[in-house]
Amino acid sequence: MPKTNGLSRRQRFRELIMAPDMLILPGAWDGLSALLIEQAGFDGVYVTGGGIARSSGVPDIGLITMSEQVARIRMICEAVAVPVLADADTGYGNAINLMRAIREMEAAGASGVHIEDQVTPKRCGHYEGKEVVEQREFLQKIEAACDARQDDDFVIIARTDARAVLGLDEAIERGKGSVKAGADVMFVEAPQTVEEIQRIADEIDAPLLLNMVAKGGKTPYVPTADLERMGYNI
């Protein structure tokens, strides 16, 4: 793992997550877009599964395979020196499939991944018609992901899409359960109001990621300074 200021990229990623200033990770889908993000001065890159799907000419409905995703992640990690957070979707199947996905993405150079609780194949987090697995199955997958990593500094982020399917209460419960299961960061996808964004921060005691989509997303735009005050980290 390349070093940044004496730290590995994964150690640097953990340091940035816990820093007072919010870590902003623009989405990249190939080496060139990642380079532009790095050259613009950002401290990290997010490998967006939706971006990879759309850049391949297909909708974000689970059509990209694990091998295709890993190839893009490797390309991006080789193109930049900053930490890279990768979208691992649902892990491409059950807990056993997920364990292989974790090892492949770790070997590709990613500093961390996020794993979601949708059924396989998944849909974009801001599309209608999503379905989620049972909470118990999701928490078992988070435990499996933590067990599968080879480097303890590799960051596991748990993402729940339950807000759209089962409501915010269930999403928060899954968030709390994911932290107990070993997740380093919690990501509740597509809260629909500023009040919901605040409630997530108030009730989940862990580093938090918020995803905002520029056009057509369900989550309202909240300025970075406001998110920092609420308690968000990424």
Give the mean pLDDT of the chain.
Answer: 93
159 given a catalytic annotation: yes
Decide if 190 is inside a domain: yes
Mean pLDDT, range 112-128, rounded to an integer: 78
DSSP string for residues in 52-78: HHHHTTS-SSS-S-HHHHHHHHHHHHH
Query: In the prediction, which pLDDT does 127 show?
Result: 55
38: which residues sit within 8 A by CB, 6+ positions away? 45, 80, 81, 82
5 given a catalytic annotation: no
Query: In the prediction, which pLDDT does 52 show?
Result: 94
Active-site entry in 10, 72, 123, 159? 159
Decide if 2 is inside a domain: no
Helices (H), the chain: 9-18, 31-39, 49-55, 66-79, 95-107, 135-148, 162-166, 168-181, 194-203, 224-230
116 given a catalytic annotation: yes
Decide if 91 is inside a domain: yes
Q: What is the CATH number of the domain that holds 49?
A: 3.20.20.60
For residues 195 and 220, is the Cβ–Cβ distance under 8 A? no
For residues 161 and 189, is the Cβ–Cβ distance under 8 A? yes
Active-site entry in 72, 149, 163, 211? 211
For residues 71 and 78, is the Cβ–Cβ distance under 8 A? no
Number of domains in the chain: 1
Decide if 41 is inside a domain: yes
Tens digits of residue pLDDT in 165-218:
899 999 999 999 999 999 999 999 989 999 999 999 999 999 999 998 877 778
In this prediction the pTM is: 0.93
Nearest to 187 by CA among 114, 105, 129, 106: 114
Active-site entry in 124, 126, 153, 163? 124
60 given a catalytic annotation: yes
Decide if 5 is inside a domain: no
Q: What domain range is 79 assigned to?
A: 24-230
Tens digits of residue pLDDT in 173-182:
999 999 999 9
User: Dihedral (C-alpha) 22, 190, 185, 172: value to the nearest 10 degrees?
Assistant: 120
